[in-house]
Amino acid sequence: MKVRTVVGLDAGRSAMKVVAYHGSKRFDVIFPTLVVAAVELSDPTTAARAKLETETVDGKAFFTGDTARLQGNLTSSVGLNDNWTDTPEYLALIQSAITRLKHQGVPGLDDALIVIGTPARLFGSRQESLVARTSKALPAGVELKALPQPMGAYCDYILDKSGMPIKEKLMGQGGKLKSYGVIEGGHFSTDFLLMKEGQYIERGADSCSGMSTAAERLRHILAKKEIQASLVECEESFTSKCLYQFGTELNIEEEIGEGQGHVIQEIIAKANSLFADDARSLTGILIAGGSAGAIYNVTSQTWKHSILLPNSRWAVADGFARYALGQLIRASVNANSQAAVNG
């Protein structure tokens, strides 16, 4: 039987995270969510490298990822609003994700099953238009589905690498399904999800600020101390804890803590209002996304059942791919039982 390729595509506002499975073979791609109009490059080596990261949308060429960062002299990432998926830049990034997977040798992309995400708050209103829009950047034979982003983190936790549910994570006492909350901390938004006994709970789906707000605050705090830094530099300092100023390395840990503190407080307040009544009865609160560590440090003090997902930044893309694998298994089981009925 033909093995169908599945892809989990997490189009984040700081980075595109893509996970593909062909059978049990896993592939992944990550590149910064950066796009600029392409220009002609005179150095042949640079031009050859840039070619791999160049996409054409409606006749217009765009550099994506690192080529966009280096050639475009960008100071912030694209898409810091909810409508960024309506832009040609978004389509260029989606096309680039597929090109990069092909370059890695991923087979079967032309008729793959691909899962993408919407911010939790916009799932109801946006899923259909996002699927229609994203399809424009994908091969015609692709089957595309959309899920709320934090659902990817939930699937990453409860499904194994072949897409099968992990029984002890899913089944509670007396055959009742377990309940989970999810907090998925990203760049532009932090997304929340409530899964009670396997059901998606509408009132638990919402979004609030992500870490880009903390980067803006940090820039402000530094400017008051007459230290200049771009938003990209502020964000990079979240991991490096320092900033380069004319050859000197400044330790800015304290300022980072202050900048992030406000956003973390907003996230905790939102989580409290969404989960408060349910928090006690949940099996766990799953913390995922690039800022998971910072969120977990605070939530774990109040909610002992906070669970920091391993590879938290990849959880959404990986979970989407696992969900897609599960869908293939389900389709094949259904086809077999139909064949048995017919036969």
Ligand X SMILES: Nc1ncnc2c1ncn2[C@@H]1O[C@H](COP(=O)(O)OP(=O)(O)OP(=O)(O)O)[C@@H](O)[C@H]1O
Interface contacts to Mg ion, rule CB under 5 A = 12, 186
- The binder of 188, among Mg ion, ligand X, none, by C-beta within 5 to 8 A per type, is ligand X
Minimum distance of ligand X from residue 53's CB (angstroms): 18
Tally DSSP H helices, then E strands, for the chain: 11, 16
- The binder of 337, among Mg ion, ligand X, none, by C-beta within 5 to 8 A per type, is none
Distance CA 27, CA 115 (A): 15
Q: Pick between residue 111 and residue 249 the one whose CB is nearest to ligand X.
A: 249
- The binder of 293, among Mg ion, ligand X, none, by C-beta within 5 to 8 A per type, is ligand X
Minimum distance of ligand X from residue 15's CB (angstroms): 5
Binding interface with ligand X (CB under 6 A): 12-15, 186-189, 210-212, 235, 238-239, 260, 289-291, 293-294, 313
Q: Pick between residue 283 and residue 300 the one whose CB is nearest to ligand X.
A: 300
Amino acid, res. 109: L
Say how many C-beta atoms besides its own lie within 10 A of residue 282's C-beta.
Answer: 18
Q: Nearest to residue 188, comparing CAs of 205, 170, 207?
A: 207
Residue nearest to ligand X according to CB distances in the complex: 290
Residue 177 DSSP class = B
Q: What is the 3-state composition of the chain as percent helix, strand, coil, each rounded to the nearest 5?
A: 50, 25, 25
- The binder of 31, among Mg ion, ligand X, none, by C-beta within 5 to 8 A per type, is none
Minimum distance of ligand X from residue 261's CB (angstroms): 11
Residue 283 DSSP class = S
Q: Pick between residue 227 and residue 232 the one whose CB is nearest to ligand X.
A: 232
Minimum distance of ligand X from residue 245's CB (angstroms): 20
- The binder of 235, among ligand X, Mg ion, none, by C-beta within 5 to 8 A per type, is ligand X
Minimum distance of Mg ion from residue 17's CB (angstroms): 8
Minimum distance of ligand X from residue 277's CB (angstroms): 26
Tell how strand 15-22 and strand 25-32 pair up. Answer: antiparallel
Distance CA 5, CA 23 (A): 7
Q: Pick between residue 95 and residue 189 the one whose CB is nearest to ligand X.
A: 189
Q: Pick between residue 195 and residue 294 the one whose CB is nearest to ligand X.
A: 294
Q: Pick between residue 95 and residue 260 the one whose CB is nearest to ligand X.
A: 260
Q: Pick between residue 56 and residue 297 the one whose CB is nearest to ligand X.
A: 297
Minimum distance of ligand X from residue 252's CB (angstroms): 13
Q: Pick between residue 10 and residue 233 the one whose CB is nearest to Mg ion.
A: 10
Q: Kindly provide the residue ranges of all beta strands, DSSP E only, lying in the chain, ordered along the sequence.
A: 5-11, 15-22, 25-32, 35-37, 54-57, 60-64, 113-118, 143-148, 180-185, 189-196, 199-200, 206-209, 242-245, 248-251, 284-288, 306-308
User: Could you tell me the CA-to-CA distances from 330 to 88, 108, 251, 324 in Å, in that order?
Assistant: 35, 20, 52, 10
Rg (CA), the chain: 21
Minimum distance of Mg ion from residue 325's CB (angstroms): 21
- The binder of 204, among Mg ion, ligand X, none, by C-beta within 5 to 8 A per type, is none
Residue with tokens 């890695």: 104
Distance CA 69, CA 207 (A): 28
